[in-house]
Structure 1
Amino acid sequence: MAAQGSSVEAMDQRLQQAQRFKEDGNRWYKEGRFRDAVSRYHRALLQLRGLDPSVPSPLQAFGREQPPVTPEQERALHGTQTDCYNNLAACLLHMEPVNYERVKEYSLKVLERQPENPKALYRAGVAAYHLRDYDQARQYLMAASCSQPRVPAADRVPAHHLSPEGEATLHGDVQLAKSWLPPPDTTRTTWMHPPFLDRLPGHRDTPTDITPG
């Protein structure tokens, strides 16, 4: 019993440390220190490596068992993981040159656990668009529009006045991105025209946890 209590306590400590790293990352993001934020989010994920009971650990092949996880700890673990992946995607959209492959990878990790997460859908759509997977971009952006919380018309921010925070920003960007997607019968040549690609928003974004939702 004492050993089990010690394992639960050790798990709590790692979860708390991961949460602190994530909060540090959010602070660096707010200050525009995106590389520092990325480092913190990665450190948070490292704290959680090997703890997820839904992912087999390589150490199990050597007879080492994963530490026991309570339902509450598992929810906290998955929540921190999801937030960090979502926030990593947000950071990468601010770092030139943008690695859209990685933005898409991180966004899909979020969508594995939260299929209707509007920020992850939006970022996946932006990444798919810049990777010239236009059909998928349309699907993600349409899904983001359907999944995002409703924003009163008076609270929607005009595209040229988008702030770096708030759900109104997300709503404005999704609507803007959708308006710039060509109709389904548009020729691929037009879809791939460089000036058109440059008009897609990808940087007016906020990471998870800094603003609600």
Structure 2
Amino acid sequence: MAEGGDSGVKEKPHKKELSISEKIEKAVALKEDGNQHFKSGDYKDAVKKYNYALLYLKGLGEDPTSQIVPGVKSQSLTKSQKETRNKTLFACYNNLSGCMLKEERWDRVIRHATSALELQPEGNSRTFYRRGTAYLATGNLDSADSDLKRAAVLSPNDPAVNKQLIELGEKMKEFRKKEKEIYSGMFVRKNKITVEKN
């Protein structure tokens, strides 16, 4: 293995047609390289590796993301290949959401976590935590509530999840207070107008 966690795998798919097994192997190796970059805090290179891994998997089997690439035809996979493809796709999307979380690129956190959950709706606590955190940061409190509560069910003792739930609770209280002020202000103005008319 090359220095820095690189396996020496060529990142960009070649023009030469690779077999399904070769594409899956290259995608898995690139995902592992991405994991090494992620662990070392090199999110830019991790993102690059995960994206290249996804390129190798586009169009393989019933990949729901293959519709993104026009002209790519699905290829049949064995049961084992499907499992490896789905596991690798999920990991890449989930880890991309983690990279984007570190960079506070909330729209991309949501997009990548959602792609991961389309592959595995049960997800894992990190997937729901990341998307819930992004929803919270963008003010989508209902979606944040749903995702963070799901993350808490999956990992009840996770301090990061519990911290976000506390922040969510505070933002919801603040939102309700502002909402109450708006509605009470509307009620007072309506009564004032009614009194003036009389």
The answer to whether the superposition gives a TM-score over 0.5 is yes
SS in 2 for 1:69: coil
Match for residue 60 of structure 2? 51
The number of residues matched between the two structures is 157
Q: Which structure's residues are more often helix, by fraction?
A: 2
- TM-score normalised over the length of structure 2: 0.72
List runs of 5+ in structure 2 lacking aligned partners. Answer: 1-17, 179-198
SS in 1 for 2:46: helix
Mapping 1:20-99, distance limit 5 Å: 20-55=29-64, 58-59=70-71, 66-95=74-103, 98-99=104-105
Contact 2:61 2:76 in 1 (8 A): no
Report the CA distance between 1:66 and its aligned residue.
2.9
State the distance in 2 between where 1:144 and 1:103 align: 15
Match for residue 160 of structure 2? 173
Note the aligned Cα RMSD (angstroms). Answer: 2.3
1:13 equivalent to 2:11? Answer no
Match for residue 112 of structure 1? 118
- TM-score normalised over the length of structure 1: 0.67
Match for residue 142 of structure 1? 149
**Letter aligned with residue 175 of structure 1:** N
Report the CA distance between 1:183 and its aligned residue.
6.2
SS in 1 for 2:59: coil
SS in 1 for 2:169: coil
Q: Percent identity?
A: 30
Report the CA distance between 1:184 and its aligned residue.
8.7
Specify whether residues 37 and 85 from structure 1 end up closer, same or farther in structure 2 by C-alpha distance, changes over 3 A only: same
